[in-house]
Structure 1
């Protein structure tokens, strides 16, 4: 596969992941699937917008750049440095790095939120009753949270999804860094042996 075609494949995968991360973050603003009585009752990590900004908005830019790399005729451009194909592949490395930062931001926030547990009403007030992820292996502790209803599985499921999807995004952006390096060094197709001497794939 040409480096431009590989980049397009990565970009096509990143866009739905970015949309899903954004939706997951938005759902976290509704603890237990209901509108919060007070914004102070929402887990702090939700307000850092890891899924909306990190794995959402910041991921759209590299995804669009990756998709655009295939628009040029790679075989007709290969070996012709003036066409800017190598520069385009080099610029994709920079955008991939931006994507890595965004995905890393969301990944770290999600990991912290999972370990910390949700903010809930324990009967004596709104607090974080869990410490160091102790609730993950002991489901009986979930009963400590009296409200919002089902807040523990709600937050755990959504932050776990964000953790997994941002991890996938980071891997895909890392692949594009390597792919972009190949494209920068030897072009897109022909000079890497992907295109035949007559310009056919």
Structure 2
């Protein structure tokens, strides 16, 4: 079946992407490669949600295993069950990766949690967070990055790079499974003869 061949390819592609998401999120929990910021809860909120670990990571790996599993059986009922199973896994990845993409986008846009030397002295806050709607986003103003945070060291670049990686990886997961969902739906509607260029009643 076409959906089975496509599913195996998608499943194999999702595995390294899911691992990248998990590693990126784990690194976000340890800015400057120090664990005390995590134990003191001085880590960006979106990183603490761990959407790259459980959503675009573990859930996607579960779906990838489902995509790569295939049973050599024939028949109309098996065909229907197999396609529906793949559709379910595709929907799971779309929801999980979409959630991770949104969370990562929020973390990237609002900037890191860090020790900032402001008007009230040293304080843990998000100094680069956009306060007013018309305010220029810090991503387009690199001159602010170096002076924004006293510690963790280099946390601005750390967050920008890792949240960008998470967005790119989860976005790729979303696109792969959205395309696979369309393929599976088409095969489900056309029946098992879809890949042989002839339509057979499902």
Using the TM superposition, give the Cα deviation of residue 193 of structure 1 relative to its aligned residue in structure 2, in angstroms. 4.5
Report the TM-score when normalising by structure 1: 0.85
Note the alpha carbon deviations across 1:112-153, whole angstroms, 9 max, x for none.
Answer: 001100001113211000123722011111122111110000
Structure number with higher relative contact order (C-alpha < 8 Å, ≥ 6 residues apart): 1
Write the distance in 2 (CA, Å) between the matches of 1:166 and 1:115.
16
Deviates more, 1:90-99 or 1:145-154: 90-99
Report the TM-score when normalising by structure 2: 0.85
- 1:1-201 mapped onto 2 (5 Å cutoff): 2-37=2-37, 38-69=39-70, 71-72=71-72, 77=74, 80-82=75-77, 84-123=78-117, 124-132=122-130, 134-142=137-145, 143-188=147-192, 191-194=193-196
Using the TM superposition, give the Cα deviation of residue 195 of structure 1 relative to its aligned residue in structure 2, in angstroms. 7.9
Write the distance in 1 (CA, Å) between the matches of 2:44 and 2:91.
29
Using the TM superposition, give the Cα deviation of residue 182 of structure 1 relative to its aligned residue in structure 2, in angstroms. 2.7
Write the distance in 2 (CA, Å) between the matches of 1:161 and 1:153.
12
Paired residue total: 187
The answer to whether the 8 A contact 2:2-2:195 is kept is no
